[in-house]
Structure 1
Amino acid sequence: MLGKLLKYELKATARYFVPLLATFGGITLLFKLFMAMIGFGNDPLRMTFSIFIVTIYVVAVIALFLMCFIISFFRFYKNFYTDEGYLSFTLPVSINLQILNKLLISIFWVVVSTAAFFLSIFIFLAGTPYWNDFFHLMSLSFQEFSKIDAGIRFLFITETLTALVLNAVASPLFIYLCITIGGLLPNHRLAASIGTYFLATAALSLVTNIFSSLFPNFMNFTGLEEFCYYLMPMMLIGCIIEIFVSFFLTRYLMERKTNL
């Protein structure tokens, strides 16, 4: 049943993401063409055009990932807290599978969007004077990184990859929880969901600041070793807690408290 849900959700979200990614790709190619036409140099006109193009490109990148957030929010809200909710809650599928379905598709599109972003960077830099500079910078960074103790390098890479995976899971689940809490107010579900998200985000930020004040040693690290031993483990633990709280509280509220 999960496979059928994933197939349906993938088709439904592709209607938004395929045009979005195609537009982003078109913008990348168009700006690449403009950069090739105006060339590279230090004269004011070329510098102005270059800054303008890079600025628009950065805006396009931000818009791409912002739309990942918005579409994830919209799909969950639409499927469970609009008229479609009556159908979704009567399907012979557990709430667990329905949440997992939304989560996996959301992660899939974030991964695709991230791949599109890195591909666009490659297209932008290829054939430009910055291409060699980029690889020279990467080479220097790798050389500096290789000087670090092998155990610390392994720990840093492992923790970083783990953090990326956990954040990819935690972010959509946090959105789902906020929508579910907002859904408890039948007459103002959308406004309550958005308000809950901003209030919850502010609350998490406040908790982080309080923790930083109470335990300054965890935040005031002086090197990569302290970062890996103190800050990253705390971040990973916090992310795991967020995942469990978001998932189980969302499931509980959807099963016991939701009133369409």
Structure 2
Amino acid sequence: MLIKLLKHEINATRRIFLPLYGALLILTIFTKLVLSLGAPDFFSDNIATPTAIEIILSICFMLYLIAITALSIITLVMIIQRFYKNLFTDEGYLMFSLPVKTWELVLSKLLVGLMWTFVCSVIIFITFFIFSLGTFSMMELTQTIQTAYTDFYATFGSSLNLLIFELILSLIVGVIASILMIYVSIAIGQLFSQHRIVASFGAYIGITIALQIIVSIIMAIFMMLNINMVINQNQEVMQFFHWFLNATTLFNVILSIGFYFTTQYIMKNHLNLE
């Protein structure tokens, strides 16, 4: 049944996201074509009347920045809206009448939200890549990457692949924890009979403040225990950075588990639909 929930959620959201992705890619390609006609010097000290290309490029870049910002905001809004509207409003009567388990409802929303967050990031990266076309060759890119790997190992005595893996893993777990934090805040907010949105927002702020206090205490304790630690050498700095990344990932894993089961518990035992 989880597969059916995922298909339904994807079909309900792709009609919004796919046109936005297409519009952003078209705008990027058009901007790149205009840019290829002649890149103007926007930072020149010479004040002159802007040409038609400069005006068009200025408009295109402004629209590009607006589109990226809007796409990021819409992704976040859709994650919130789909979870709240489908599960805690009148639509919730239909969703909870289906022969599915509570954990499947939560997991389906989480996976689709994570998927669109990932796709949004990839699309933005593709637009950056399109803008960079023509500025370097693939051979130059390959040589630069090889040099970066060699220099990184020579400087820090550690593999760059390991660092990249840890960064990606930490980022993914962090996004999951962020989404589940939104879900648990909404679940806590629906426990109130009135002003549920305000209560959810208040729960989110309360959790954020509590987490900041906990993280500050943990960091203070760590610094006290390691106050004499010398990290002047590059390898010691990298070891500390690896530890920090792994500790952050573990902390977010614990948060994700706590948020997930708390959300599931509230939905299963204290559901209060509008």
The TM-score, its normalising length taken from structure 1, stands at 0.84
Alpha-carbon offset, residue 38 of structure 1: 4.7
1:104-131 Cα deviation digits (max 9, x unpaired): 111211221122111111111112xx44
Q: Does 2:115 align with 1:117?
A: no
| Change over 3 Å in CA distance of 1:43–1:123 after alignment to 2 | same
| Change over 3 Å in CA distance of 1:253–1:224 after alignment to 2 | same
1:86 matched to which residue of 2? Answer: 93
Alpha-carbon offset, residue 84 of structure 1: 0.4
| Change over 3 Å in CA distance of 1:157–1:37 after alignment to 2 | closer
| Change over 3 Å in CA distance of 1:16–1:215 after alignment to 2 | same
The 5 Å alignment of 1:154-173 reads 155-173=162-180
Aligned residues: 257
The TM-score, its normalising length taken from structure 2, stands at 0.80
1:43 matched to which residue of 2? Answer: 44
TM-align CA RMSD: 3.1
- The 2-side partners of 1:189 and 1:220 are apart by 50
Secondary structure of 2:96's counterpart equals: helix
Contact kept? 2:153, 2:159, Cα under 8 Å:
no
5+ residue gaps, structure 1, are: none
1:2-49 Cα deviation digits (max 9, x unpaired): 111111111001122112212222332233234234524353558x86
Contact kept? 2:170, 2:246, Cα under 8 Å:
no
2:240 matched to which residue of 1? Answer: 226
| Change over 3 Å in CA distance of 1:60–1:181 after alignment to 2 | same
The 5 Å alignment of 1:1-260 reads 1-41=1-41, 43=44, 54=61, 56-127=63-134, 130-131=135-136, 135=141, 138=145, 140-148=147-155, 152-153=159-160, 155-216=162-223, 217=226, 223-228=237-242, 230-260=243-273
1:144-163 Cα deviation digits (max 9, x unpaired): 22425665545423322321
- The 2-side partners of 1:60 and 1:143 are apart by 38
Secondary structure of 2:250's counterpart equals: helix
5+ residue gaps, structure 2, are: none
